[in-house]
Structure 1
């Protein structure tokens, strides 16, 4: 006897369609940019908007009044991110310029954008190959994906309010966003207000540096473009050399905003509301601040003592305190929370300094932030629980709960954190093995560290790694099969693994 499906797939697909139809309005931004700069790819974005809206509205008709539960939430979130990336790739394919004319490359770039990974397969990032509106679309995909497509939908669509809590929990699984207000839609709006406020502030300050003469090439276009990818910890840039193309003043300004993007946005809302003390009382924030500070100081010392460190783009770094501090602090802030910006090619760093960066990539941002990776809170809980194990080994009769912000954590939550971290590391290692096997199969000459960091940088939504996938390189030369694997890794990494993997279990559909 066939068991009946326990998932209301019509309601789930209907909500996916609702989000896609709303997301189609985002194409208005590149359309406006296109009109401003000569309408080179105007028709591309008009067609993309129509296709996205049409497909979304057709799915919406499956169930005009959907009421999703917890099961449907997993399907809605996973499919929304996948289909958003698919339709986000349409402009790249229609324009047919450069390496993005290939559908797999286009999907890779779109998935990297919406998941705020920042990995790229663009062979040439320039206005000679791609229009200004196309590069702005690339930037915009990261801003939309930063706070979360579902959080945005819950904030602006009244029909998403039903089941909104389940949807937001599925999009930010694990120890995530707190409920600030009685209504989940209001909570979503609060988070987006904080996100928009910080984005606009950075854009204004970047352009202000240009007006004051401290950033000659930070025009309005670049100020908007980099504002759109800093707060979502995305890392895309319309400049081929990333933030290295700009003055030291720009690089120093971006550092605190990258740091801010890795902080739980709930805390920023409290700060905006006048309660700054909440920020410094939070255990996760204090640990995050200490980690970034200590790692930046270590990096600064390592670069300063490296007398041989010098490049044509940066000049002499070793022995130069300001440059050592700027390059180290910028890269630590960028890689800790998975932003992926670069203000120099850190492939030129010495071995110990690169190991420091590799350790930094494993940390991740705070929960409730736009940062990727394992997340600071999980590492903090693991350290606290290990400390407890040492204590109870000496005092076996003691009962000592693990506490966060003065409140004891449930033991089930602690086990869940260990399970997630182990699964994350296992998936990362398995990805490295698959990439190595695929490279051997096609005769792709690539180093081991390149493959290790390619797997880590995609599942952690970090973007750049070492070697050919370094900050001034990319993933364009990888075999198509490897690119498809990395697309999968970016997808599951952005949703923190479980919302995607749960769809592959029979229990989800029939239990």
Structure 2
């Protein structure tokens, strides 16, 4: 039996990725020097990444990636980066009672960061125990993972850009890659430039509110931290109360930027290029905005009339208060639909009607080509069009009716891919829910069906918070290690759209 996948080429480029991961590790070192925190965890991690990266590069000095090697490279890169990202947590917590000193917890937090899931094992007390440098690394992992580590590598490394189209297609969220320029490396640079620009504008606005006295606790550190975790739809806030810790103007400002983060970034480039009409004509964007607006209005009505929330809570009184009802509804819907995971209200305390609306938002997901997680809006659009076609052809069997998206006919192979992905997504999600429930029962951990359901959905959908103990102000710490490792796997495959990871477990991928 002969291997058909040149794994050495894939692992050699994984080594290159790890070497370059040492560069952003300088940022928490700077933060550590400013705040007087220990720098050893980050210096040691830099040495480790360079050493391991250099060693892997020796496996193949001139790597050539075909489609199998590209898929292997993308999948292993994300796993390796998450593993290395956990090292500073373990080293910083060594010899203490830190939650992240445990390797499983550290890997969970790191994978959650890089995949922009936002699920955490840290509670209110745990957040306060960690240094500014460790927390900045935690937030930076989300920003790096938002637009995509491989997209960044394609943008800056010529040896990776050679197979850039295959790599980005394996990593990019959504069923299709929109090439903005003839050269894929230039497309990658454009996407990262747009991403960086929105991040910088958002940080400037937040810090500007602080200087103007409208957000007293939004200092420069918090502004950067929330810039690093909003645009990637990550949700790792250094504040135990998340965005609820800040003034109403900060919450209102976060809403459009979460919506921007869940939008296909290619559309913004078209706007900057004078083709703003593409926004209006894009059927996925229209459906995306309609979903956010419709669910926000529905939930606002529930909050205003008192049929959704608890009578009191972190978000303040909403019954009969129009502004707060609109703000709380728009924020929670934008956050969960785009998989950001921030919260301004403890919706765990809401009534079942409000939770159902939020659960529906979690299932929708962001747009293809965005930093948002979930199934993606474009897939739901195609599925609904397929269902409508099936109903039509049932009474008109002689009619050939293609599926159109934005005026273009969708290839039947692409439709099968969408249906196959959605089926696998829901199947894995269901199996994981059952495992999580049984595993919790095994150790005597009380877990309701809704909590198990939402924990599975929140991790495979890269959403972060769920309901019950894993709500927006809860944590995943109490789960057994076996469940945490399963959730690490769910976050991994969820970020990479399932196929590039699961295909590695098939015999046909490796052998001739």
TM-score of the superposed pair, with normalisation by structure 1: 0.98
Q: In the alignment, what sits opposite 1:21?
A: 19
Question: SS of the residue aligned with 2:234?
Answer: coil
How far has the Cα of 1:391 moved from its partner?
1.7
Q: In the alignment, what sits opposite 2:232?
A: 232
Range that drifts further, 92-101 or 256-265:
92-101
Contact 1:126 1:240 in 2 (8 A): no
Deviations 1:390-444 (A, max 9, x none): 2222222111100011010111111111111111001011001101111111111
Q: In the alignment, what sits opposite 2:279?
A: 279
Contact 2:99 2:126 in 1 (8 A): no
Q: In the alignment, what sits opposite 2:67?
A: 70
Q: In the alignment, what sits opposite 1:504?
A: 505
Aligned match of 1:56 in 53, 56, 60?
53
Deviations 1:109-166 (A, max 9, x none): 0000000000000134667411101101000000000000000000011111111111
Question: SS of the residue aligned with 2:25?
Answer: helix
In the alignment, does 2:210 pair up with 1:210?
Answer: yes
Deviations 1:35-90 (A, max 9, x none): 1111x121111111110111111101111111101000111011100010000000
How far has the Cα of 1:344 moved from its partner?
1.2
Q: In the alignment, what sits opposite 1:91?
A: 88
Contact 1:450 1:469 in 2 (8 A): yes
Question: SS of the residue aligned with 1:316?
Answer: coil
Q: In 2 relative to 1, CA 390–462 (structure 1 residues): closer, same or farther, beyond 3 Å?
A: same
Distance 1:124 1:316 in 2: 23
Question: SS of the residue aligned with 1:362?
Answer: helix
Is there any run of 5+ residues in structure 2 with no aligned partner, and where? Answer: none
In the alignment, does 2:6 pair up with 1:8?
Answer: yes
In the alignment, does 2:485 pair up with 1:495?
Answer: no
Distance 2:314 2:353 in 1: 22
Question: SS of the residue aligned with 1:311?
Answer: coil
Contact 2:12 2:56 in 1 (8 A): yes
Distance 2:268 2:141 in 1: 23
Deviations 1:181-239 (A, max 9, x none): 11111110010000000000100011111111111111100000000010100000000
Q: In the alignment, what sits opposite 2:395?
A: 394
In the alignment, does 2:338 pair up with 1:337?
Answer: yes
Q: In the alignment, what sits opposite 1:373?
A: 374
How far has the Cα of 1:339 moved from its partner?
0.5
Question: SS of the residue aligned with 2:216?
Answer: coil
How far has the Cα of 1:468 moved from its partner?
0.1
Distance 2:104 2:9 in 1: 30
Distance 2:279 2:452 in 1: 38
Q: In the alignment, what sits opposite 1:141?
A: 141
Q: In the alignment, what sits opposite 1:37?
A: 35
Question: SS of the residue aligned with 2:364?
Answer: coil
How far has the Cα of 1:387 moved from its partner?
1.2
How far has the Cα of 1:315 moved from its partner?
2.8
Q: In the alignment, what sits opposite 1:325?
A: 326
Q: In the alignment, what sits opposite 2:301?
A: 301
Contact 1:177 1:266 in 2 (8 A): no
Contact 2:441 2:447 in 1 (8 A): no
Q: In the alignment, what sits opposite 2:175?
A: 175
Distance 1:370 1:404 in 2: 21
Q: In the alignment, what sits opposite 1:426?
A: 427
Q: In the alignment, what sits opposite 1:451?
A: 452
Distance 1:283 1:422 in 2: 23
Q: In the alignment, what sits opposite 2:44?
A: 47
How far has the Cα of 1:388 moved from its partner?
1.3
How far has the Cα of 1:348 moved from its partner?
1.6
Distance 2:365 2:317 in 1: 30
Distance 2:174 2:56 in 1: 29
Q: In the alignment, what sits opposite 1:264?
A: 264
Is there any run of 5+ residues in structure 1 with no aligned partner, and where? Answer: none
How far has the Cα of 1:6 moved from its partner?
0.4
Q: In the alignment, what sits opposite 1:479?
A: 480
Contact 1:327 1:343 in 2 (8 A): yes
Distance 1:309 1:254 in 2: 24
Range that drifts further, 436-445 or 423-432:
436-445
How far has the Cα of 1:311 moved from its partner?
2.6
| Aligned length in residues | 508
Distance 1:442 1:126 in 2: 23
Distance 1:351 1:225 in 2: 33
Q: In the alignment, what sits opposite 2:160?
A: 160
Contact 1:428 1:456 in 2 (8 A): yes
How far has the Cα of 1:173 moved from its partner?
6.3
How far has the Cα of 1:276 moved from its partner?
1.5
